[in-house]
Structure 1
Amino acid sequence: MRVLMFGWEFPPHNSGGLGTACHGLTRALVDMDISVKFVLPKELHYSDNWIDFIFAGKGSIQRKVVGSPLAPYMTPTMYLQWKMQAGKGVSFASSLVEEVYRYAELAGNIAQETPHDVIHAHEWLSFYAGIEARKAAGRPYIAHVHATEYDRSGGNMNPEVCAIEEEGLRKADHVIAVSQYTKNIVMDQYNIQSHKIDVVHNGVHQPGDDGYLDVENDRVLGLKKLGYKIVLYVGRLTLQKGPDYFVKAARRVLDYYPKTIFVIAGSGDMEYSLVEMSANLHMSQNMLFTGWVRGRDLARMYRAADVYVLPSVSEPFGITPLEAITYGTPVIVSRQSGISEGLYHALKVDFWDIDDIASKIISVLQHDALRDELQSNAMHEVEKFSWHAAAQKCVDVYRKVDGGYRSVGA
């Protein structure tokens, strides 16, 4: 089985969970002897050869990079701002939507030149690329939904993005959603039939595989040695992720548990307002904004945290709670998240209920028995979220759509 995969971020050049998911899924597919050719929309500095870069040991994951400045989690407004700041030397289209079209035009040529059996496109920026690849090569196209415009915008949806998203889903031979929560949104917002959508939960790497277990000489651990409790948030600082609810809940916790440090690991357009909110709530000394963190630094934070909080307003899945659990950290997750449907040994909250969020944080910090039970049970439960299982479900979808294509002589 040969897969031509279109995306728009891949580690180490990623700024969110999409890149993590693409990496985990493609590695697992390759371990199953599936050939994956991964196409990116812009040149990244992996080597001087910017068209083809083979980077996997077993099997074949191949990156093809085309000349486009599309970037992870970009919005039309962000695109225009970037275009104005970039100056000369960077080729831009007139708008983000035009950039999506340009990526799609190049995708058709790539599909004609690259032998493959199925096309797999991640997220709306890649959907038109998937459609054009399907037209050019006559192979089935699968749309993989990691988030919808409904999730990203908090309900204030951009009509152009919605139109692309809807067309990409309607013209797909099949759709993969990262959760039942996301599948329901796709059905409700775009009237896509249930039988056309398969749910494939994301997976998580076990820490023993990456060597991130050295937790000495760490600033956060130093605070713990002074008797502070650590409450952790990891993610983009955007409306969708609900970091403002995390900050508001922190104020409630500090009224009862003043020797607590709240760590916010991430970056995004809400960062300045969150810092300002922390100051206005008179708790700057209890807030630690680290910026984007990855690798060993992130592993140390997970290990040091007494509890992890996912307060998302609308979270299609949520890999970070699984990562926290693998390091032995109990988690509190929003009911408005995909991970809440499959993770039972976690405390669950509504994102808007800051009193309940604060109450559950305090409960974990105060009650060792609760923390130990959540930790022990969740570490066993997280084993079912493997990238191999996710890859196997994707392969099942590939075979289903490929067989259907062949049966009708497409």
Structure 2
Amino acid sequence: MKVLMFGWEFPPKIYGGLAVASYGITKGLSLQGDVETTFCMPKPCGEEEQFLNIIGMNQVPIVWRDVNYDYLKERLPSYMTPEQYYAFRDHIYADFSYMHVNDLGCMEFGGGYPSNLHEEINNFSVIAGVVARQQEFDIIHAHDWLTYPAGVHAKMVSGKPLCIHVHATDFDRSRGKVNPTVYAMEKNGMDHADCIMCVSELTRQTVIHQYHQDPRKCFAMHNAVYPLSQEYQDIPRPDHSKEKVVTFLGRITMQKGPEYFVEAAALVLKRTRNIRFVMAGSGDMLNAMINMVAERGIADRFHFPGFQRGRQVYETYKQSDVFVMPSVSEPFGIAPLEAMQCGTPSIISKQSGCGEILTNVIKTDYWDIHAMADAIYALCTYPSLFNYLQEEGKKEVDGITWEKVGLRIRALYEEVLKNYGK
């Protein structure tokens, strides 16, 4: 089975959870043995793992250029050969000469989330038409609203079925203050999709009720975690017998509920001063949180180490006694699973999709700062509770694998293909 997949980010360039999920899903599919995935992204860095085919949309020509072979060998990156370039050039299907292209007839991409993001999304969808005409595939899979227009265009060009993956909706990102342009793009993708995979039942219900989708084509497809590498397993856990560490790690933005973490911390610190709180990450609410910590008089117990990446993330988990994710609206939330892998008990909000598959965590409402504070205090004070959730949580998460997710997605592909066109 051949899958044409559209995604906006992929490791090692990680801007958020979308890259992590894209890697896990494609890796899980590769372990099925008979699934070949071609992953199209705006601007690869060339260091992506080679268990799947990577197409950089910034190397696909949309305007015909008479370019000689030797020049192409100099200009193209390692993941694109001159032969592939010529194959794409032969499938240009319309006159795009009015668009801004380089000397190879390709469009440039900034990568990540530049100020002209909507323009890049549109350009990406234009190129998807050329790719869909040139590639051989059975089914299309598009991740999140950024690539839904590309998925829809590829379906129109090829006549192949479209699966879209909802990692979050604008209702989650905006706390209800929905951007009408983004909503329209999300709904258009869902309307054209033959199958909608949602990262949780929570998200599935949002898709059904807020985007008015047929429940029969909407499926909960929970995320998973990669097995912890030996490098990260070997990171030592420091002795915190005298002073505990409680951590928030993620985007410091409205969706993640950082203010509730600060309020809960202030309540805990009225009962004991033997706990330090860490808010790791960056975001539009960072300065507001620093000010809030100062206003609450707890700045001497609070740390803001900034954005964490790669090994730093796992060092942060290992150096923590408790991980807290107080999200206001979290479609899934992989971070608690990663923390539990590292032996760090987690507290999550009841408004988190991962809570649907996790048992050995403490769940509170995001707004219930008293319950959150009680849970933090209990985990830092009672060794038996800490040890139980540490051991059982790790066992639970070790069984939540991307290979199982890949198996479920492959089965869903088969179902869509069987019913397509009926």
TM-score range, shorter chain: 0.7 to 0.9
Bigger mean CA offset, 176-185 vs 62-71:
62-71
Shift of 1:253: 1.1
Do residues 35 (structure 1) and 36 (structure 2) align? yes
What's the CA shift for 1:211? Answer: 1.8
1:184-229 per-residue CA deviation (whole Å, 9 max, x = no partner) reads: 111110111211011111111222x35213435x9xx4xx558220
Give the percent of matched residue pairs that are identical in Structure 1 and Structure 2.
38
* Residue of structure 2 equivalent to 1:99: 120
Q: Once the 2 structures are TM-superposed, how far is the Cα of residue 143 of structure 1 from its aligned partner?
A: 0.7
Kindly tell me: are residues 70 and 140 of structure 1, through their superposed partners in 2, closer, same or farther at Cα, counting changes over 3 Å? farther
* Distance in 2, Cα, partners of 1:70 & 1:173: 31
Say if 1:8 and 1:70, in contact at 8 Å, map to a contact too: no
Cα deviation for residue 154 of structure 1 reads 0.3
Q: Distance in 1 between matches of 2:264 and 2:121?
A: 39
State the distance in 1 between where 2:219 and 2:185 align.
Answer: 20
Q: CA deviation at 1:308?
A: 0.6
Query: Hey, what does 1:321 align to over in structure 2?
Result: 336
Question: Which residue in the other structure is 2:318 paired with?
Answer: 303
**Distance in 2, Cα, partners of 1:71 & 1:165:** 21
Q: Does residue 275 of structure 1 match 2:290?
A: yes
* Paired AA for residue 391 in structure 1: G
Is 1:211 aligned to 2:239, yes or no? Answer: no
2:44–2:56 Cα contact (<8 Å) kept: no
Mapped contact 2:41–2:54 kept (Cα < 8 A): no
Structure 1 SS opposite 2:232: coil
Map 1:5-404 to 2 at 5 A. 5-33=5-33, 34-41=35-42, 43-46=43-46, 55-56=49-50, 58=51, 60-66=52-58, 67=107, 69=109, 74=113, 82=115, 92=116, 96-207=117-228, 209-215=229-235, 221=238, 227-404=242-419
Q: Distance in 2 between matches of 1:400 and 1:354?
A: 44
CA distance in 1, matches of 2:233, 2:412: 36
One-letter amino acid of the counterpart of residue 120, structure 1: H
Residue aligning to 2:64: none
Q: Conserved in 2, the CA contact under 8 Å of 1:97 and 1:160?
A: no
Between the aligned partners of 1:12 and 1:6, the Cα distance in structure 2 is 17
Cα distance change, pair 139–309 in 1 and its aligned pair in 2 (3 A): same
Question: What CA deviation, in whole Å up to 9, does each residue of 1:66-101 have, x standing for no partner?
Answer: 3454765x5xxxx5xx3xxxxxxxxx5xxx444322
TM-aligned CA deviation for residue 241 of structure 1: 0.8
What runs of 5+ residues in structure 1 fail to find an aligned partner?
Answer: 48-53, 83-91
The 3 A distance-change label for structure 1 pair 40 and 270 is: same
**Preserved contact between residue 180 and residue 338 of structure 1 (Cα < 8 Å):** yes
- C-alpha distance in 1 between matches for 2:235 and 2:404: 30
- Partner SS state of residue 256, structure 1: coil
Aligned length: 373
1:336, CA displacement in angstroms?
0.4
Deviations for 1:269-313, whole angstroms, at most 9, x for unmatched residues? 111211121122222221221222122222122122111101000
User: Residue 244 of structure 2 contacts residue 320 of structure 2 at CA under 8 Å; is this kept in 1?
Assistant: yes
Change in 2 beyond 3 A, CA 1:175/1:328: same
Equivalence for 1:50: none
Amino acid at match of 2:393: A
CA–CA separation in structure 1 for the residues paired with 2:45 and 2:316: 28
Deviation string, structure 1 residues 317-347 (Cα, Å, up to 9, x no partner): 0101111111111110100010111111111
**Does the 8 Å CA contact 2:57/2:124 hold for their aligned counterparts?**
no
1:27 Cα deviation from its structure 2 partner: 1.3
User: Gapped runs of 5+ residues in structure 2?
Assistant: 59-106
Residues 283 and 30 (structure 1 numbering): CA distance in 2 closer, same or farther, change over 3 Å? same
Residues 214 and 300 in structure 1, CA contact (< 8 A), matched pair in contact too: no
Q: Which moved more, 1:232-241 or 1:98-107?
A: 98-107
State the alpha-carbon separation in 1 of the partners of residues 110 and 227 from structure 2.
31
Secondary structure of 1:142 counterpart: strand
- Would you say the 8 A contact 1:170–1:192 is kept in 2? yes
- Alpha-carbon shift at residue 141 of structure 1 (Å): 0.7
C-alpha change, 1:266 and 1:391, in structure 2 (3 Å) is: same
Contact 1:119–1:133 (Cα < 8 Å) also in 2: yes
**Whole-Å Cα distance in 2 between the matches of residues 192 and 70 of structure 1?**
33
- Is the contact between residue 162 and residue 195 of structure 2 (CA under 8 Å) also seen in structure 1? yes
CA distance in 2 between counterparts of 1:380 and 1:45 reads 35
Aligned partner of 1:315: which letter?
E
Residue 179 of structure 1 aligns with an amino acid whose one-letter code is: S
- Give the deviation of 1:357 after TM superposition: 0.8
Runs of 4+ in structure 1 off by over 3 angstroms are 67-72, 96-99
**Residue 183 and residue 70 in structure 1: after superposition, are their counterparts in 2 closer, same or farther (change >3 A)?**
farther
Aligned AA (1:27): K
For 1:70 and 1:141, the matched residues in 2 are separated by 27
The structure number with the bigger radius of gyration is: 2
Alpha-carbon deviation of 1:259?
Answer: 1.8
